[in-house]
Amino acid sequence: MSKIRIAIAGASGRMGRMLIEATLQAPDAELVAAFEREGSSFLGKDAGELVAAPCGVAITSDVAAGLAQADCLIDFTRPEGTLEHLALAQANKCAMVIGTTGFSAEGKAAIAEAAKHIPVVFAPNMAVGVNAVFKLLDVAARILNEGYDIEVIEAHHRLKVDAPSGTALRMGEVVAKALGRDLESCAVYGREGVTGERDSQTIGFATVRGGDIVGDHTVLFAGIGERIEITHKSGSRMPYALGSLRAARFLAGREAGLFDMQDVLGLR
């Protein structure tokens, strides 16, 4: 069986390096391209050297040329860059795994449109454990559908630029859907001053940014006399990388379609 040919965007970043390491260690995957922005000091360097494992793949800014030899592009960069890469992936009939967060409604629509032509896994969190938590939250929300106030608390490193995290928002979406609510109308993002009593129909979000926290997420169901907390804590970025490779395997051989990790893991 032939190996899946993987291309990685944002090669020199924290997630890019982890993806390179995971790909080089996977027996069924081959790193064929690694990308960085024009002007990056990493251009021309061996991508494997970033993880102390030289592999002969030079980092390049020529995304189109790299995708011409790839089966799947894995992208955890920024929305504007990801959308540019998406157009090139579509032109090259290359599958895409998108872990980037912070997209606008227009950006999400562009992803859905491209997925009519190429297969795409688009998820706010690629970690298998986090996606198991999504399933647990659906079950918990249906059981705790009366008398419980719901809060989503997330913490990330000081360099994260969007808030709340994509994972926290997806957690809120899962809970809201299970309760028959619209997250857009019931979400409360932070509190300050005299806020009045809590509306029992709202879903609150609290954000922490500091240090090198990889990613902590907790959904709190607070009732009278008891609290239920469902928590996931990431100790490294490797779970995201391993989940991304699992998504790439899922896309192999598919012609088109928009999927998420719930599809990849068979949790629908």
Please name the amino acid found at residue 215.
Answer: G
pLDDT tens readout for residues 20-41: 999 999 999 999 999 999 999 9
CA separation for the pair 118, 112 (Å, rounded): 10
* Residue 128 predicted with pLDDT over 80: yes
Q: Is 177 a catalytic residue?
A: no
CA separation for the pair 115, 219 (Å, rounded): 31
- Which residue do the tokens 């959308």 mark? 83
Per-residue pLDDT band at 124 (split at 50, 70, 90): confident
pLDDT for 31 equals 98
Domain ranges, ordered by start, for the chain: 4-126+237-264, 128-234
Q: Which of 85, 156, 217, 232 is catalytic?
A: 156
- Start-to-end C-alpha separation, the chain: 28
> What is the mean predicted confidence (pLDDT) over 224-250?
97
> What is the mean predicted confidence (pLDDT) over 254-259?
97
Q: Is 156 a catalytic residue?
A: yes
Average pLDDT, rounded, for the chain: 96
> What is the mean predicted confidence (pLDDT) over 80-98?
98
Q: Which of 3, 117, 135, 160 is catalytic?
A: 160
Class for domain 4-126+237-264, per CATH? alpha beta
Superfamily of domain 128-234: Dihydrodipicolinate Reductase; domain 2 (3.30.360.10)
> What is the mean predicted confidence (pLDDT) over 191-217?
96
Omega into 164 within 30° of 0, i.e. cis? yes
* Residue 97 predicted with pLDDT over 70: yes
pLDDT for 267 equals 87
> What is the mean predicted confidence (pLDDT) over 163-178?
96
* Residue 63 predicted with pLDDT over 80: yes
pLDDT for 1 equals 65
Q: Which of 246, 255, 221 is nearest to 74 (CA)?
A: 246
Rounded to 10 degrees, what is the CA torsion of 34, 23, 250, 84?
-20
> What is the mean predicted confidence (pLDDT) over 218-227?
98
